Structure 1
Amino acid sequence: MKVIVFADVTDPWAYIGSTRFERAAAMFSILTGEPIELTYRALLLEPDEPSDGRLLVEALDERLGGRDQVELVNAQVTAAARITGIDLNFDEAVQANSFDAWRLLTWADESGPGFQRDLLHQLWRAHFLEGADIGDPFTLATRAALVGLELETAEALLASTEYADEVRTQDEVGTSLEVAQLPYVAIEQRWTLVGIQSQNDYVQALHQIYTEWKAEQPSEE
């Protein structure tokens, strides 16, 4: 089955939910023998926010209307991440624009199986755990190299406007779908799973969708 997941590099819920879905998809494939072809697409949560070096908690303070609210949300996210085996460090995370990251991720998707997923997880860890600026070209290019992509090609891409139109189109599609929560999982362009769910819930949903999908496939003569 073909699956598209709308996410953002700067959204911790997308990080947690996508990780759970990937594990569920792997388990589903082991149990059924049916491969899941997974592709990520951009839905930019804060497209106009710059990469300005501010601490993320300061930027969130402005968006959410107070430090108490920020601490409450961060505590909820951190708890959900810990259950999933993900470490977060909001104290050092910096405000970043994810547009260039998605240009790189779109290229990675065309570079071969696994590159996009590996790079996306590198960028999530860089942003939410290591305090790296994932809007910075050097950070992006070096993370691409870490997953086996060509460093010089990544640097040249980031110095250009390559894949900018593709990222804008991805974001426009996500917006047209009126996505309210990430991750947004679209399966075979028909079934959707919206927002973070447990790994077990994802597995059960995949089994149900697979049953319906197989029933619709033309029988082999």
Structure 2
Amino acid sequence: MTKTLHIDFVSDVVCPWCVVGLGGLQTALDALKAEGIGADIHFQPFELNPQMPPEGENIVEHIGRKYGSTPEQSAANRAMITERAAEAMPGFEMRMGPDSRIWNTFDAHRLLHWAGTVGAAEQRALKAALFATHFTDGKRLTDAGVLADAAAAAGLDRDKAVEVLADDLHAAEVRAAEELWRARGINAVPAVVVEGKYLISGGQPAAVFEEALRKIAAGG
């Protein structure tokens, strides 16, 4: 008999640790299949930089302003996260460099919400496509055409994606979800909430997710 866990994966598409966390979570779930443990994953919105203007900001300048990091510290951190992402999500290529930019992600979250209304698999595919659009291809996440292309790459209807973006659809739903998770105490991502009450924070290795999910599935 399969135990299916409800998992809310609270994250932002410009968060590199969210790539690490999602990779670790998926690896853990793949390992747990043999034990009859599965999950329905729902991607929830979180904006790391909700006030970011449409033109974005250079990553080195952004990290320096936000965290006080030097360019050298920023480069070392990018190298470390790139290595972790490659380990956590084999085949995923993270190409962050000193000329990379951080973007406003509200429209990306609107598109993810819409994808979730189509289906869980479609939302998961779009999440992966958006990660690739940002971290691998370095494309502008505030460009409606870029976002629509990501939707098409995920197997979604590109014309419908264009409509969602042009008409400001799902803006209220995304804002409400963001407020809900903040009210529940989520102030950093990735945050993996299992069964609405168990929190696994950060870009954890697969072994950490596997142990926690096994315990939760057994009744806590």
Q: What TM-score results when the alignment is normalised by the length of structure 1?
A: 0.89
> Which residue in 1 is equivalent to 2:95?
89
> Which residue in 1 is equivalent to 2:195?
188
In 2, the alpha carbon distance for the partners of 1:145 and 1:87 equals: 20
> Which residue in 1 is equivalent to 2:177?
170
Shift of 1:82: 2.6
> Which residue in 1 is equivalent to 2:78?
74
Q: 1:17 aligns with which of 17, 21, 43?
A: 21
Shift of 1:79: 2.4
Q: Is this contact kept in 2: 1:89–1:128, CA < 8 A?
A: yes
Q: 2:105 aligns with which of 94, 98, 101?
A: 98
Q: Is this contact kept in 2: 1:51–1:95, CA < 8 A?
A: no
Letter in 1 for 2:96: F
Letter in 1 for 2:95: N
Letter in 1 for 2:160: T
Aligned-partner SS, 1:37: strand
> Which residue in 2 is equivalent to 1:58?
61
Matched, 1:44 2:58: no
Q: Is this contact kept in 2: 1:93–1:132, CA < 8 A?
A: no
Q: What TM-score results when the alignment is normalised by the length of structure 2?
A: 0.90
Where do 1:191-206 residues align within 5 Å? 191-206=198-213
Render the CA deviation track for 1:27-80: whole Å, top value 9, x for unaligned: 21x222233111010111111112315432333233232313322321221221
In 2, the alpha carbon distance for the partners of 1:15 and 1:49 equals: 21
Aligned-partner SS, 2:10: strand
Matched, 1:133 2:137: no
More strand by share: 2
Render the CA deviation track for 1:65-102: whole Å, top value 9, x for unaligned: 23133223212212211322332111253221110000
Matched, 1:122 2:125: no
Matched, 1:27 2:31: yes
In 1, the alpha carbon distance for the partners of 2:37 and 2:108 equals: 31
In 1, the alpha carbon distance for the partners of 2:129 and 2:209 equals: 23
Aligned-partner SS, 2:102: coil
Letter in 2 for 1:126: T
In 2, the alpha carbon distance for the partners of 1:16 and 1:128 equals: 12
In 1, the alpha carbon distance for the partners of 2:102 and 2:214 equals: 38
In 1, the alpha carbon distance for the partners of 2:30 and 2:165 equals: 32
Shift of 1:20: 1.2
**How many residues are paired up?**
212
Letter in 1 for 2:79: A
Percent identity among equivalent residues? 27
Gapped runs of 5+ residues in structure 1?
A: 214-221
Is the deviation greater in 103-112 or in 78-87?
A: 78-87
Q: Is this contact kept in 2: 1:93–1:130, CA < 8 A?
A: no
In 2, the alpha carbon distance for the partners of 1:21 and 1:190 equals: 17
